[in-house]
Each structure stands twice: as C-alpha cells, then as structure tokens.
Structure 1
C-alpha cells in the first residue's frame, strides 16, 4: 500500500511552482470584475442560497426602486404616469383662429341675451313699481280722509261720554267755523296779492 503512494515531490514542475517558464493557472488570468462563481454565473445574478452565491449574501439591485412611482389603487398597481401631453395643435392656421373666433362670438351672444333678459326683468319691475306707487298715493289720500272722519267720530264719542249738552257742542262748532272762515279769507287775500 505504501508503494502506491507517491511523494509530493514527484509532481511535475509546471504544477508545483511558478517558475519563469511556467504557465500561470487559467483563473489568475481573468480580471476580478469578470470572475465567475463556482457555477459560472456572474456575481449578483444568482438567487441567494444557491450554488452560485454564499448563503449569507444578498442580491444588490442596480437601480433604486421608489414606491411612489407605482401607487397602489383598489384594483392593484397602476401604471407609471407618463409626461405631460404636448400641444394638440401644432399649426395654428386660419381654421384654428376661425374656430376660436366662433367660440368667442357664442360666448358674447349668450352674455348679451342674459343681459337683455335682465333689462326686460328690470323694466317689468319698474312698470309694476310705478303702478304700485300711483295706487299707494290714492290709498294714502283715502287714509287721510278716513283719519279725519275718525277724529270727528272720536270727538263726538268723547262729548257723549262726558255728558256734554248739545248747546255746548253747537257753540264749539260755531266758534271753529268762524275761525276757519277768517283763515280762509286771509289765505285768499294773500293768494290774490301774490298773483297780482
């Protein structure tokens, strides 16, 4: 049994040491960035815990993922929002300006019709107000007449309640009538003088 075992010094010189003429092993010729793992998979692409990567190392992503870029809705993940739309009409020719002008004309006509309706409503209110004002003047004159009659009736009730004689009432009436006649004559004289 001992005869089958070869001593370590019996190895060929190309494998035993790195002499000047010796060829280096093939793994030392590759750059470290391109080195493959034991299974031949580039680093960072194998799943953790497989033969390609050790169990304790994790996978590093090449770009940062932002959760705000993929908002969650009730139906699931929504797509990424695209940029703003560009102008919908690149060339503004005669038809474009005619369309804008028609839109503005429509806005002006609706505003004019609205103002015309307001004017008509104000005119109707003014006519109703004038008719009500005339009616109020006639009713005010009637109220004054009725107030005079009510004052006469109240004075008569007062005289009856105080048991005044009829002769006293007639004497008061004659005095007031004479005073009113004198004042009416003086007013007529002043009126004729002013007219002259």
Structure 2
C-alpha cells in the first residue's frame, strides 16, 4: 500500500513539474501567440506581454490585449493584469467556462457590425475603434447552428474601468464582482451575484 502511494505521489509531482516547465515555456514563446492567432484570425486575436501558470488550467497574465468579431458584433479588451481558470472539455460542446476571473483597469469596447437595413448615420462616428478590425457589414446567421454559451463565475475587477458599447461610453472606478452568463446568437445575457 505504501509503495503504491509513493508511486502515485511521485507521478503527481512529475506531472506538475512537467506541466509547469512546458506550459510556462509555451506562454513565454512568441510563436505561441502567433500560432494561437492563426486559428481563426477573422474571429479572434490575442496578445500578452507576459503570462504564467502555477497549476493546470489557471493562467495569470500582464498586458493582455484581445479583439474579435462575431457575425454581428466586434469587440476589444485591454487588461493590464488578469487571471482566470478555464475548463477545456466543455469547449468541444461550444461552452466557455471561466472561473475566478480577476482583472485590473479593464477597458472593453463593443460595436455592431452594420446591418444593411439600419441607418447608422447619426451614431456611426461615435462607435469605438476596434484594433485591426474594419467596421464591416453584419453576416447573416446560419440556420441550424447553435451558438456558444459563455459562463463566467466569480468575475472580479478592480481599479479604473472604461467601457464603450456602441455609441455609449462610460468610466467607473472601484471594485465590481459578478457572474456573467451569455448565450450567443441572440440568446439571453445575465449578471448575477453582483
């Protein structure tokens, strides 16, 4: 019994050390960001100045910049300091589950992609700029495809935050904490436990 316990303990320690070495090395190499951004450059781009992990599926980062677009929206996030845990298996089923998200001095911008039947003449000049994304026409939603579900539990941000949704811009100082649940393709959006 003691021999099996020692073997299991050694295996766990070896796994953790290998994980720390390999994942932290990958997070430091510029090629990691390059490869990640080649997956769906039309949908998503992310960069960071430095990132590290102490245990599986939890990442800490500095200088995070991300932007992307769906068929109907474009967005940008700037995060000087942040961390989060992610569940990988649900990604297969189009579920993004983040937990214990932490950020400082968050900037978030979002604007619509233009619908041909809407007149944006009076508000278009007030939409936020999105890095590396031209303001383009919305794409039709394909039928029969299900959207993504995004669950962020225990999100906490501190500092000075700037948000810009469409033509509405705001700033807030302090600490915000909430759970966020979103279903894309026009599904529900909710904030709870805030």
Q: TM-score range by the shorter chain?
A: under 0.3
Q: TM-score, with normalisation over the residues of structure 2?
A: 0.18
Give the number of the structure whose alpha-carbon radius of gyration is greater.
Answer: 1
* Larger relative helix fraction: 1
Q: TM-score, with normalisation over the residues of structure 1?
A: 0.18
* Larger relative strand fraction: 2
Larger RCO: Structure 1 or Structure 2 (Cα < 8 Å, ≥ 6 residues apart)? 2
